[in-house]
Amino acid sequence: MIKKISLFFVFTISIIANDLLLQVDKNLQPGSSESYKKLINIEPDGSKKTFLLYQAKSGTDKMVSSFLKPESEKGRNTLRLGDNMWLYIPSVGRAIRITSMQSVVGGVFNNSDIMRVDFSSEYTVEKKQTKDDKYILNLKAKNDTVAYDELIMTIDKKTITPTKIECYSSTKMLIKTLFYKKIKDFGNNIIRPSVVETVSPFYKDYKSIMIYGKITSKKFAPEAFTIDNINKVNDLRR
């Protein structure tokens, strides 16, 4: 009887922890929405390269992106369906497969970071801790196609949004750390960090920054998230 009660207690805690992760996803970005973001790669000598992207997200596992700036990147589009990703290059005229650990912009952010879908679609909560004004979640990847095998996510209790995420490999090696900063009210009850910075022990003295300029709830037709229409992502802005 005691064993059954103990198992029930663990199961209940697990449900509560995973509900917390679902709330984090909801607060970061609505299930169907569009956003504009600026990506800045900063090199050790202080030089910078900046990109402007438009992104559309549908449900928990679909996203498309289109490069708006610089001019040399304009027309490059990406598609994410679950763990599968593609890049469309106008000069090539077709979509090519890319991986989550590659980066279409270089720098410290990889494709998984740039085309982030819901954390709950990729991870389950293995452990939940409460510390002062923070929650700390230990997350485990649901399969081996996910960019990071484990995450340690620190969550602000007030906003239920991340303040820091440590990303680890299957060998427990720290790959990078993401810092979520500058809470902003985007309207329509979207209140979340507007800046994400990342550093990595593998990119000494490099830093990459992601700045959200706009996030808006918006519905899209299912065909917007297909390889056949990967060259038409920019049309979604109309």
For the stretch 68-88, pLDDT in tens is 999 999 999 999 999 899 999
191-199 and 174-185: which strand pairing? Answer: antiparallel
Structure tokens at 103: 């980066």
Fold of the CATH domain 2-237: outer membrane lipoprotein receptor (LolB), chain A (2.50.20)
How far apart CA 59 and CA 110 sit, in angstroms, is 21
Q: What angle do CA 167, 202, 68 make, to 5 degrees?
A: 80
Query: What is the radius of gyration, based on Cα positions, of the chain?
Result: 18
**pTM of this structure:** 0.90
Contact 139, 21 (CB under 8 A): yes
Contact in structure between 53 and 37 (CB atoms under 8 Å): yes
Give me the pLDDT at residue 67, please. 97
pLDDT of residue 14: 53
Residue 18: per-residue pLDDT: 87
Domain boundaries, the chain: 2-237
Per-residue model confidence (pLDDT) at position 7 = 38
pLDDT of residue 13: 47
| Regions of the chain with pLDDT less than 70 | 1-15
